[in-house]
């Protein structure tokens, strides 16, 4: 840091310069984030200083958090679910598994493991490290859903929980949560559904999928408002069916206005909570459905354009994620050639494919422009 501060004008110009170095979302097809809705930005700015880490000082923000948990709980099949607003999918995943790990540790269990699909987000590798548990990976079926037989085979007397994904990061696939729920019930295991992406998509799709608390074996769900919920970063919802699991995360906070905390972070943005509350109230289910409907229309259009040039998707897209099946040796070259044309795409791990996420910042013109460039560089 310099000894003397700079003028406001100089700072503004520095910020402009950095802003220009950042990419604008309109050619980004690799991200699960997007521009937040205008009402979310308004609410975020209004509650910038609010800290839910000491929520007794911010009862208005706390009320909004409770209301969001209730709204999202109702959307996901349990109005009386409990939980809190986290920093996103990673924190929610860590905390969901930490809750069951703490429960089992108190009961005297050691050397625990959980079973996740091979497609699980890399945050589960962090979980293995942080929580000192073994994370076993179950294989997939041909449609890239977790194979429930493989999950069952991996269960042993140290298994404390199963994880299903509703909207896999790379393929947008939904695991057979109903079968996982039955298995979890039969084996008396905790079942966590990672719906970080799908939580704000699946309820609004034309097809119906069983994936939420309406399945009695589902113990906890995460769904991120900062992905398809149109809110600001950082906003994730972690929901438990039973309060007793949330209680496993309780830490006494002696010198704060509230007596306990459940989150992983201490100081916690009230701004993103206000943003989430505002945008969910503003859009309602109808507004979110419209957004998902448009993303799905454009997803189908992109698949059509791909098919015209002889490129098919690895799986028929279930939600607004498309993995295009190019010859394995070609995928990186095509991704790099597209990057030279200022597109940002990503590459899946297994099978290798060109991954495109059709977020609300993508419009029809962009899909066509992208398809034309893809045709030229492939």
- SS3 at position 234: coil
H-state helical runs in the chain: 8-21, 38-46, 59-75, 89-106, 123-131, 148-154, 177-187, 243-247, 270-308, 328-340, 364-377
Give the x/- contact pattern for ligand PLP in 291-320, rule: CB under 6 A. Answer: ------------------------------
- Considering the complex, what minimum distance in angstroms separates the CB of residue 348 from ligand PLP? 12
238 binds ligand PLP (CB under 6 A): no
Closer to ligand PLP by CB, 131 or 196: give it. 196
| Chain-centroid distance, C-alpha 335 | 24
# residues near ligand PLP by CB under 6 A = 15
Check residue 90 for interaction with ligand PLP (CB under 6 A): yes
**Applying CB under 6 A, does 32 fall inside the site for ligand PLP?**
yes
- The residue within the footprint of ligand PLP, chosen from 224, 246, 277, 326 (CB under 6 A), is 224
Q: How far is the CB of 119 from ligand PLP (least distance, A)?
A: 9
C-alpha distance from residue 343 to each of 233, 336, 369 (Å): 23, 9, 10
CB of 93 to ligand PLP, least distance (A): 6
Query: Residue 40 burial by CB count (10 A; 0-12/13-18/19+): exposed, middle or buried?
Result: buried
Q: Which two tokens stand for residue 122?
A: 């890399």
Q: Which of residues 44, 98, 101, 121 is near ligand PLP by CB under 6 A?
A: 121
Q: Does 119 bind ligand PLP (CB under 6 A)?
A: no
Q: What are phi and psi of 268, to 5 degrees?
A: -140, 130
Asked if 196 is part of the footprint of ligand PLP (rule: CB under 6 A), the reply reads: yes
- Per CB under 6 A, which region of 6-14, 83-91, 132-140, 152-160 contacts ligand PLP? 83-91
Residue nearest to ligand PLP (CB): 89
Evaluate whether 202 touches 209 at the Cβ level (below 8 Å). yes
Measured in whole angstroms, the distance separating CA 20 from the mean position of its chain's CA atoms is 27
Binding region for ligand PLP (CB under 6 A): 32, 88-90, 93, 121, 123, 165, 167, 169, 194, 196-197, 224, 236
């Amino acid at each position: 840091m310099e000894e003397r501060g700079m003028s406001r004008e100089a700072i503004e110009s520095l910020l402009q310069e950095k802003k220009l170095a950042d990419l604008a979302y309109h050619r980004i097809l690799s991200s699960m984030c997007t521009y937040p809705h205008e009402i979310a930005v308004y609410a975020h700015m209004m509650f910038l200083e609010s800290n839910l880490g000491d929520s007794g000082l911010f009862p208005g923000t706390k009320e909004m958090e409770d209301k969001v948990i209730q709204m999202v709980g109702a959307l996901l099949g349990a109005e009386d679910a409990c939980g809190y607003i986290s920093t996103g999918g990673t924190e929610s995943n860590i905390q969901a598994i930490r809750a069951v790990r703490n429960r089992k540790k108190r009961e005297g269990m050691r050397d625990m493991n959980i079973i996740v699909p091979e497609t699980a987000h890399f945050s589960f590798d962090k979980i293995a490290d942080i929580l000192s548990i073994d994370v076993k990976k179950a294989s997939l079926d041909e449609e890239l859903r977790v194979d429930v037989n493989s999950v069952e085979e991996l269960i042993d007397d140290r298994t404390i929980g199963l994880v299903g994904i509703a909207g896999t990061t790379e393929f947008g696939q939904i695991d057979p949560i109903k079968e996982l729920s039955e298995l979890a019930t039969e084996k008396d295991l905790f079942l966590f559904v990672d719906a970080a992406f799908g939580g704000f998509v699946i309820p609004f799709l034309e097809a119906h999928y069983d994936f939420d608390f309406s399945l009695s074996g589902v113990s906890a769900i995460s769904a991120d408002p900062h992905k398809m919920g149109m809110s600001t970063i950082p906003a994730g919802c972690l929901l438990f069916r039973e309060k007793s699991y949330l209680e496993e995360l309780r830490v006494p906070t002696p010198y704060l206005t509230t007596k306990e905390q459940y989150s992983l972070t201490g100081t916690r943005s009230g701004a993103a909570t206000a943003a989430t509350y505002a945008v969910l109230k503003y859009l309602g289910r109808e507004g979110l459905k419209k957004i998902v409907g448009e993303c799905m229309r454009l997803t189908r259009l992109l698949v059509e354009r791909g098919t015209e040039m002889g490129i098919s998707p690895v799986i028929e897209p279930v939600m607004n994620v498309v993995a295009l099946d190019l010859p394995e040796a070609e995928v990186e070259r095509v991704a790099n050639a597209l990057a030279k044309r200022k597109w940002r795409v990503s590459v899946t791990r297994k099978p290798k494919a060109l991954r495109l996420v059709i977020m609300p910042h993508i419009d029809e013109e962009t899909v066509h422009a992208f398809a034309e460039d893809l045709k030229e560089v492939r």
